[in-house]
Amino acid sequence: MIVDKKEKYCLISSDEHSLKAFQDAFFGKVADFKTVHVVLQISEEINIKNEEFSLFLSVAVQKKQEGTSFVIVNTIVNIDMFPETINIVPTLQEAEDILEMEAIERSLGF
């Protein structure tokens, strides 16, 4: 797992070759990211199924309750199969756009 602290968020990228190894690394350190916005970039080299993305749903809900954002970047997954509570986008630029939109929503009290 590669952690890159940006100005407005923390970018976490996968350097593992399996989803299980990446999830173990991420969930082992998820508490370290409690107060920051998180963009999780999952490599397309990791063989992942739509159902496996739902494992990150609890993190998305928790981050929203804490007043921070959580976005997953991946081009393989079908985003229409997930609830709106989890943000999945195909590019890092779109993830940054989501972070900005959610910051605006929080400032407006939504």
**Confidence (pLDDT) at 100:** 95
Phi, psi of 38, rounded to the nearest 5 degrees: -125, 130
CA angle 21, 5, 26 (to 5 degrees): 20
Q: Which domains does the chain have, with CATH numbers?
A: 2-107 (3.30.750.24)
Kindly report the pTM of this predicted structure: 0.88
**Confidence (pLDDT) at 68:** 93
Contact 61, 85 (CB under 8 A): yes
The answer, yes or no, to whether residue 85 has pLDDT greater than 90, is no
Helix (H) or strand (E) holding 70: strand 70-73
Contact 38, 63 (CB under 8 A): yes
Instruction: State pLDDT tens for residues 11-70.
Output: 999 887 788 888 889 999 988 998 999 999 988 877 777 777 778 888 899 999 889 999
Separation between Cα atoms, residue 17 and residue 96, nearest integer Å: 25
The answer, yes or no, to whether residue 106 has pLDDT greater than 80, is yes
- The alpha-helical segments, DSSP class H, found in 1-110 are 19-29, 50-53, 57-65, 92-107
The answer, yes or no, to whether residue 97 has pLDDT greater than 90, is yes
